Amino acid sequence: MRQHQTFNPKLRERTVAVVSAAGLLLLAACGAPTAGAPGGSGATSGEPIPICFSVAQTSNTALLGQDQVVGAKIAEKYFNDKGGVNGRPIKLFYEDTAGDENGAINAFQNCINKDKVVGIVGPTLSQQAFAADKIADAAKVPVLGPSNTAAGIPQIGEYVSRVSAPVAVVAPNAVREALKQNANIKNVAVAFAQNDAFSKSETGTFQKTVTETFKLNLVTVQTFQTTDTDFTTQATNLINSKPELIIISGLAADGGNLVKQLRELGYKGLMIGGNGFNTTQVFPVCQAQCDGLIIAQAYAPGLDSAINKDFIAGYDAEKKSKLPPQLTAQAFTAVQVFVDSLKAIDTKTKLSGMQLADIRTALNQQMLLGGKYDTPLGPISFDKEGEINQGKFYVAQVKMTSGTEGNFNIIGTY
Ligand code: 1QQ
């Protein structure tokens, strides 16, 4: 029943899991015969395999979380229609984390103890991941971050991985594109949300890219809170520092408002928004003033692969658009990684004969084996710490099409 005991030093302490009450329950529930071919299409039968999808469905952070729920719903239907896990369906438990640390901790506890899931996809924010992931790690429940991009996430614990490439890899590309659009950029101003772990991590990357990689002048660093709505002071200070480029690391609501207020106060130069802007939900916030915003991304709808086309068809059926945003693609990918990994485990040792604790451990180990997953993000794998290996990245520029609607047009591929 135990698998791959020695391949990964991170996992070498693993011992055979004791038979827990939860494990017995799962075992008892899993006895039904299975149908459908591995990886193929077909009917599913038997007790569904429980997976938690735990992101922000309420609070300001739901501007980001709603995109993620869409991706999870598409994945749940798509993979179940294709035969689930070798014939057994999956069932996602949508536990709302809201926007703060306590919300994420409560949601994760529900996933682990109430829903008794094999793994958790979530939470939305790195700020929440640093609080909640260690609870799942201590319970030996694999967590797959769908959107946590701060430095240090996979290092939280051996059960923590992510499909969201880190800011250090993704963010610098936005500065490269800005310099292509204006070769005369010399002075750069930045602003970041100082109460948010991702924003602090991302601004560090941006500031280093500006000063060390491109030897530009960092003329001011302004701070704000993710709860702020009035940015008059920061916007005035940013404009007074006379930058040719302003870079903002915040979340959709606060960041979007800062962009809007900068334009309203007369700033005409280029602007980069970080990963917190990577949702179409930011468009109603900054409206016409979103236009021209440059944003680095880890997904492009144009990727030519069968799985990406299927994903886009699922998105189109749901949202009447062929341009899914990055957070939706990453959410789909996270569910896919769990499904593909569970299939691989089940092919070797039937899940129906395993204890819940052993399935959780095997699922974590399976991801860290270094195998490739063909996803809408392209082919990905994980390193031994659970960090994603991804080959291609993109930079988009916002084109507003009406008052509150717009698109992320891909302008660069890296
Ligand atoms: C993080 C992020 C968020 C902006 C994703 C929604 O990258 O918190 O790490």
Residue 4 lies in a domain: no
Q: What is the DSSP letter of 18?
A: P
Please, what is the end-to-end C-alpha distance for the chain in angstroms?
42
Question: Which ligand 1 atom is nearest residue 153's CA?
Answer: 9
Question: Does the pLDDT of residue 224 top 70, yes or no?
Answer: yes
Report the nearest-CA residue for atom 8 of ligand 1: 125
What's the chain's average pLDDT? 91
Written as one letter, the residue type at 108 is F
Distance 73 CA to ligand 1 centre (A): 20
Distance 311 CA to ligand 1 centre (A): 22
pLDDT (0 to 100) of residue 191: 98
Q: What percent of the chain has pLDDT over 90?
A: 89
Residue 258 lies in a domain: yes
> Both 251 and 290 in a single domain?
yes
Going by C-alpha positions, the residue among 95, 125, 126, 100 that lies closest to residue 112 is: 95
pLDDT (0 to 100) of residue 370: 85
CATH number at residue 44: 3.40.50.2300
Pocket test for ligand 1, best of 97, 251, 297 (most atoms within 8 A of CB): 251
Distance 156 CA to ligand 1 centre (A): 16
Distance 273 CA to ligand 1 centre (A): 12
> Residue 352 and residue 48: Cα distance in Å, rounded?
11
Residue 307 is encoded by which pair of tokens?
A: 């799985």
> Both 68 and 192 in a single domain?
no
For the stretch 187-222, what's the b/e string if a residue is b when 16 or more beta carbons lie within 10 angstroms of its beta carbon? Answer: bbbbbbbeebbbbbbbbbbbbebbeeeeebebbbeb
Question: Which ligand 1 atom is nearest residue 125's CA?
Answer: 8
In this structure, the dihedral spanned by the alpha carbons of residues 100, 226, 122 and 115, taken in order and rounded to 10 degrees, is: 30
Pocket test for ligand 1, best of 275, 328, 393 (most atoms within 8 A of CB): 275
Distance 275 CA to ligand 1 centre (A): 6
Q: What confidence tens digit (pLDDT) does each residue in 236-265 have?
A: 999 999 999 999 999 999 999 999 999 999
Q: What confidence tens digit (pLDDT) does each residue in 191-202 have?
A: 999 999 999 999
> Both 283 and 248 in a single domain?
yes
Q: What confidence tens digit (pLDDT) does each residue in 350-381 have?
A: 999 999 999 999 999 999 998 999 999 999 99
Report the nearest-CA residue for atom 4 of ligand 1: 276
Question: Does the pLDDT of residue 33 top 70, yes or no?
Answer: no
Going by C-alpha positions, the residue among 36, 146, 145 that lies closest to residue 88 is: 36
> Both 285 and 211 in a single domain?
yes
pLDDT (0 to 100) of residue 20: 39
pLDDT (0 to 100) of residue 42: 72
* The total number of structural domains that make up the chain: 2
pTM: predicted TM-score of the whole model, two decimal places: 0.91
For the chain, give the number of residues: 414
Q: Do 341 and 142 meet the contact criterion of CB atoms below 8 Å apart?
A: no
Residue 334 lies in a domain: yes
Written as one letter, the residue type at 289 is Q
Q: Edge-to-edge strand order for the sheet containing 388-390?
A: 373-375, 378-382, 388-390
> Both 378 and 249 in a single domain?
no
Residue 187 lies in a domain: yes
**Stronger pLDDT, 7 or 328, i.e. the higher one:** 328
Residue 3 lies in a domain: no
Distance 158 CA to ligand 1 centre (A): 21
- Mean pLDDT computed over 321-341: 97
> Residue 378 and residue 193: Cα distance in Å, rounded?
31
> Both 331 and 264 in a single domain?
no
Give whole-number Cα distances, 292 to 117, 268, 270, 271, 397, in Å. Answer: 42, 10, 7, 8, 6
Show the domain range for 80: 9-165+304-382
> Both 215 and 90 in a single domain?
no
Question: Which ligand 1 atom is nearest residue 127's CA?
Answer: 8
For the stretch 152-184, what's the b/e string if a residue is b when 16 or more beta carbons lie within 10 angstroms of its beta carbon? Answer: ebbebbbbbbbbbbbbbbbbbbbbbbbbeeeee
Q: Do 203 and 174 meet the contact criterion of CB atoms below 8 Å apart?
A: no
> Both 36 and 150 in a single domain?
yes
For helices 62-81 and 326-348, the axis angle rounded to 10 degrees is 40
**SS3 letters across 305-365:** CHHHHHHHHHHHHHHCCCCCCHHHHHHHHHHHHHHHHHHHHHHHCCHHHCCHHHHHHHHHH
Pocket test for ligand 1, best of 60, 66, 198 (most atoms within 8 A of CB): 198
pLDDT (0 to 100) of residue 155: 98
> Both 174 and 308 in a single domain?
no
> Both 340 and 273 in a single domain?
no
Residue 326 lies in a domain: yes
Report the nearest-CA residue for atom 7 of ligand 1: 149
Residue 15 lies in a domain: yes
Residue 371 lies in a domain: yes
Question: Which ligand 1 atom is nearest residue 196's CA?
Answer: 8
Report the nearest-CA residue for atom 5 of ligand 1: 147
Going by C-alpha positions, the residue among 86, 155, 143, 153 that lies closest to residue 119 is: 143
User: Is residue 41 very low, low, confident or very high in pLDDT (cuts 50, 70, 90)?
Assistant: low
> Both 76 and 17 in a single domain?
yes
- Can you name the residues that pair with 390 across neighbouring β-strands? 380
Question: Which ligand 1 atom is nearest residue 252's CA?
Answer: 4
Q: What confidence tens digit (pLDDT) does each residue in 146-189 have?
A: 999 999 999 999 999 999 999 999 999 999 999 999 999 999 99
Which residues have CB under 8 Å from 272's CB, separation 6+? 174, 175, 178, 206, 245, 246, 247, 248, 293, 294, 295, 296
> Both 264 and 319 in a single domain?
no
